[in-house]
Amino acid sequence: MAEFKGQPRLPEFAVPKHYEIRLKPDLSSFRFAGSVAVDLDIVSSTKAIVLNAAELSITSGSVSFSSKATSEVMKPVTAEAVEADEILILEFPETIPLGIGVLKLEFEGILNDKLKGFYRSAYTINGETKHMAVTQFEPVDARRCFPCWDEPALKATFKITLDVPSQLVALSNMPVTKEEVDGSVKTVFYQETPLMSTYLVAVVVGMLDYVEDHTSDGVKVRVYSQVGKADQAKFALDVAVKTLEFYKSYFSIPYLLPKLDLIAIPDFAAGAMENYGLVTFRETALLFDEQRSAAANKQRVAEVVAHELAHQWFGDLVTMKWWTHLWLNEGFATWMSHLANDNLFPEWKVWTQFLGEFSDALRLDSLEESHPIEVEINHASQIDEIFDAISYQKGASVIRMLHNYLGAEPFQRSIASYVRKYAHSNAKTEDLWTALEEGSGKPVSKLMNLWTKQKGYPIVAVSLVEDQKLKFEQSQFLLNGAASDSQWIVPISSCYGSYGEHKSLLLESKSGTLDIKEFVGSNVVEDSSVWIKLNVAQTGFYRVKYDNDLTARLRTAIEKKYLNDMDRYGILDDAFALCMARQQPLTSLLTLLSSYGQELEYIVLTNLSNICRTVQRIAADATPELLNSVNQFFINLSMNSAKRLGWDPKQGESHLDSMLRGDILTTLSLFGHGPTLTEANKRFQAYLDDRNTPLLPPDIRQATYVAVMQTVSTKNTWGYESLLRVYRETDLSQEKTRVLGALASCPDPDIVLQVLNFLLTPEVRKQDAALGLAVSKEGRETAWKWFKANWENIWQTLGSGSLINRFIKAIVSPLASSEMVKEVENFFQNRTTASTSRTVKQSIEKARINAMWVESIRKETKLAEVVKELANRTY
Ligand code: BES
Ligand code: ZN
């Protein structure tokens, strides 16, 4: 049977049609027993049946195949579990009759603690530790719960039965049809599902509370939580019901299952999972506490709920054919969640906030180690790593670009017809393009293939030339300075000063020109008050490099507030990227930053903050003697916002101001602003004395914790110890996350070391160990040494998936010297696996880019002069 080993895909002899699955989890021994009966269609002559199974022991003698055609019952001569390939090979004594038959087998497995397959999650009730049993199957872990054909295109119907302790709640994709109680055990039977993929099957068993509502067409919606947290489920419930109605109208098809459950799971690796009819979440992504959660937490809940509900159509009803098309799921759901949230919460300006995600995508995609949206997958272990900013944020960005190009109405109409056509079935990227092409009459495939089949994106250099013309030239934008021959069809839009005119064109070759006489009159070259902005509202997935003349005009326009928020954002973000790529000096970026001193808009200011923080870290390496002036400049730049927002929430203030306050205070703390640090410590003390003090509302808690950590050292550990106490005492996951996100920002490397060790203790759930981990610049190299020394332990604790990759990225990518890069390369030489290799390569590339950036800044001769001048400005 050697021919079945080492293959990326299952052989196609047998096609599963229906599964009857029975599972009996034991929450004290952490084991489970199960049986499965699969209706198979044997479609080609074979002696072997090959299916997926991993970490399951098949009960010997339990395997049988009964052919419907011949009524023959066959037993395999061998049943070989090949763990390396996660398959089970059943070899029969003779050829299996074609047509339908039933494969039966029994098995046992472990309720593991790895947050995948069928696993256990711990929670406490009245101080007592309890466990729930939970499944997480995407991408390839259904095989850890029951033997199956674990590929997304092999859709089947599922009938599930659970044997559980009678006092517990047991949930699955479909409603319960019947329950039989037999003393301490009950058997729960569920309705059969519609056709669906294995990765969407789900089961949860535990002590649970819920709140309930229903949609206008009678779908019963419940949000489940641990006992005692049901009040925190109300916000998500409201969002879920309204979002279902919104999608029903957008897709022109209602939600098709009779019920929808959303459930908060205390231990959960991802943010949430769109299991059909039973969506699982980490607590921070579903629960909202009116008193103790922050505005950002509220927005996160709405975003994640909307994202997972979008999958109920785009992913669950229509599923990708293979993981190469994962982006169809994730890119689309990411885009769609913004559409839904914008509809529910227009004051959040989620499309403006989307630019943050747009930048995440541009950042990752400017690495040579990026990958195309449609990425080749040859082994199951490669799939985890493509749940990244390319599949999600770049995917969503190219959909936004296309939506803008085709128009909202044709786009929606085509999506609805695509969903109708592929409902209960599978589709690939090309199928979506075909639907959009038919619905819009525009050449969608030709345009989009360039964006999804090749990695990277262009930067368009623009200059003003004689005869009132704009000249464009595209080339791939790479942070490491490498060149390529890649080209794209770039939808270029542009707007012009007070003329308010837009002009668009498709740039289909390397360079092009645009006559703008009719828009700007005849004197644009001489009249420097006319500014020109490309990529209006940043809808195109590219960057723009303006010539010096155009840049100067834009600077003035920004100061005079002539540009709208998305365009102000784009100019800033592109300039920052060009600086990091060493295509423009730091002095130009700093001069541009100084145009933003009057900025009020949330998304522009948060990006400004992020950029200032990165520049500060780089400057600390490149020119430590200028660090004080750099800090002073950034403090001055943040002062207007700081004064406007203060520490205390204003009556009736906007959601965005509530979120911004914490961001500005964090920035000021990181730049060492004395009064902020003092005030933070004072308010923190008040909070320690009374957790209900009005002096520390939820929106500024994390910022305060960061400020407190800036004043902690081995000589003064009060702040650190107090934060650990806050962490230990709270039952609110969002509060724990705030503390964890602040600890490593301490400038004392010895404290950073203590923090890192703390992250690996049982007090921190695995899912949170590297979540939002941002090590101070002073602690970076210590963190790397610690990482090397603890590698075995980290690997043992976190396993090979996304959890460890988060750690690798957080520790490696901030490094900024060529010596460190060498060390990292040596270290990973023989420690990289198929599931970490992309992350390792990307993180090393990022560190190398930092190192080159540091070197180039050291060579800037005018830097000191410019920084000192800027540090003296006020805004
Ligand atoms: N399908 C994913 C969950 C997932 C992620 C499964 C990685 C397996 C591996 C889910 O729809 C998702 O995308 N969740 C996001 C949240 C979302 C709002 C971006 C997540 O987990 O972060
Ligand atoms: Zn998703």
Please state whether beta strands 14-26 and 157-165 pair in parallel, antiparallel, or not at all (unpaired).
Answer: parallel
Please write the tens of the pLDDT for every residue from 229-261.
999 999 999 999 999 999 999 999 999 999 999
Give me the chain's average pLDDT, please.
Answer: 96
pLDDT of residue 648: 98
Indicate if the pLDDT at residue 595 is higher than 90. yes
Supply the pLDDT for residue 497: 78
Q: Which atom of ligand 1 is nearest to the CA of 270?
A: 21
- Ligand 2: centre distance to CA 496 (Å): 38
Lowest mean pLDDT among 483-492, 498-507, 792-801: 498-507
Please give the annotated binding residues for Zn(2+), written as ranges: 307, 311, 330
Sheet holding 458-465, edge to edge: 511-515, 469-476, 458-465, 543-546
In this prediction, what percent of the chain has a pLDDT beyond 90?
Answer: 94
Residues 417 and 486 in one domain: no
Which pLDDT does position 522 carry in this prediction? 61
What per-residue confidence (pLDDT) applies to 561?
Answer: 85
pLDDT digits (tens, 9 = 90+) for 14-32: 999 999 999 999 999 999 9
Task: Please check whether residues 363 and 445 belong to one and the same domain.
Answer: yes
Q: What is the pLDDT of residue 562?
A: 87
Q: Which atom of ligand 1 is nearest to the CA of 330?
A: 13
What pLDDT was estimated at residue 132? 98
Kindly report the backbone phi and psi dihedral angles of residue 368, in degrees, each rounded to the nearest multiple of 5, phi listed first: -65, -30
Domain membership of residue 812 (yes or no) is: yes
Give nearest CA residue, ligand 1 atom 16: 271
CATH of the domain at 811: 1.25.50.20
| CA-based nearest residue to 448, from 434, 469, 467, 438 | 434
Phi, psi of 189 (to 5 degrees): -105, 140
Which ligand does the CA of 301 lie closest to? 1
Strand pairing category for 64-67 and 99-110: antiparallel
* pLDDT given at position 245: 98
Same domain, 123 and 254: no
Percent of residues, the chain, with pLDDT higher than 70: 99
Say yes or no: 29 and 114 in one domain: yes
Q: Which tens digits make up the pLDDT trace of 324-367?
A: 999 999 999 999 999 999 999 999 999 999 999 999 999 999 99
Contact 454, 486 (CB under 8 A): yes
Ligand 1 pocket test, candidate residues 273, 276, 803, most atoms within 8 A of CB: 273
Q: What is the CATH number of the domain that holds 123?
A: 2.60.40.1730
**Distance from the CA of 570 to the center of ligand 2, in angstroms?**
26
Task: Note whether 464 and 381 are same-domain residues.
Answer: no
Based on the domain organization, do 817 and 698 belong to the same domain? yes
Quick: pLDDT tens for 658-694: 999 999 999 999 999 999 999 999 999 999 999 999 9
- 311 Cα to the center of ligand 2, angstroms: 7
- CA 333 to centroid of ligand 1, rounded, Å: 10
Determine the atom of ligand 1 nearest the C-alpha atom of 304.
Answer: 18
Same domain, 307 and 380: no
Last residue of a domain, one of 515, 530, 557: 557
The band of 499, judged by pLDDT with boundaries at 50, 70 and 90, is low
pLDDT at 500: 65
pLDDT of 527 reads 80
Regarding whether 489 and 416 lie in a shared domain, the answer is no
How do strand 318-320 and strand 425-427 relate by DSSP bridges? parallel
For residues 827-834, average pLDDT = 93
Position 586 in a domain = no
Is 222 found in the same domain as 201?
A: no
Position 498 confidence tier, pLDDT thresholds 50, 70, 90: low
Q: At which of 158, 178, 205 does a domain end?
A: 205
* Alpha carbon distance 357, 681 (integer Å): 33
3-class DSSP state for residue 600?
Answer: coil
Does any domain span residue 611? no
Residue 334 CA: nearest ligand 1 atom is 19
Regarding whether 464 and 448 lie in a shared domain, the answer is no
* CATH number for the domain harbouring residue 306: 1.10.390.10
Nearest ligand, measured from the Cα of 303: 1
Catalytic, out of 138, 274, 303, 308: 308
Mean pLDDT, residues 121-148? 97
End-to-end CA distance of the chain: 75
The total domain count for the chain is: 5
Does residue 414 belong to any structural domain of this protein? yes
Say if 604 falls within a structural domain: no
Token pair 């050292």 is found at: 713
Residue 574 lies in a domain: no
Q: Which of 314, 329, 330, 357 gets mutated to test ligand 1 (max ligand atoms within 8 A of its CB)? A: 330
Task: State the pLDDT confidence band at 64, using cuts at 50, 70 and 90.
Answer: very high
Compare 501 and 744 and report the one with higher pLDDT.
744
Residue 192's nearest CA partner among 102, 258, 99 is 258
Residue 180 designated active-site:
no
Domain-ending residue, one of 205, 227, 260? 205
Q: How confident is the model at residue 523 (pLDDT cuts 50, 70, 90)?
A: confident
Q: How far is the CA of 281 from the centre of ligand 2 (A)?
A: 11
Residue 835, CA distances (Å) to 67, 384, 386, 692 in order: 39, 7, 10, 45
**What is the rounded distance in angstroms from the CA atom of residue 668 to the CA atom of residue 364?**
27
Does the pLDDT of residue 696 top 90, yes or no?
yes
Tell me how far the alpha carbon of residue 417 lies from the centroid of ligand 2, in angstroms: 21
Q: Which atom of ligand 1 lies nearest, measured to the CA of 282?
A: 21
Residue 356 included in any domain? yes
Q: Is residue 588 part of a domain?
A: no
pLDDT tens-place string over residues 453-482:
999 999 999 999 887 889 999 999 999 999
Pocket of ligand 1 from Cβ distances under 6 Å: 138-139, 270-274, 303-304, 307-308, 311, 330, 333-334, 387, 392
Mean pLDDT of the region 688-701: 98
Mutate to test the pocket of ligand 1, among 114, 300, 307 (most ligand atoms within 8 A of CB): 307
Q: Whole domain around residue 149: which residue ranges?
A: 1-205
Q: Is the pLDDT of residue 521 over 90?
A: no
Residue type at 801? G
**Which ligand is in closest contact with the Cα of 387?**
1
Residues annotated in a binding site: 307, 311, 330
- On whether both 198 and 211 belong to a single domain, the answer is no
Q: What is the pLDDT of residues 639-659, one digit of tens each?
A: 999 999 999 999 999 999 999
Query: Which of 64-78, 496-510, 743-757, 852-866 has the least mean pLDDT?
Result: 496-510
- If asked whether residues 15 and 117 sit together in one domain, one would say yes
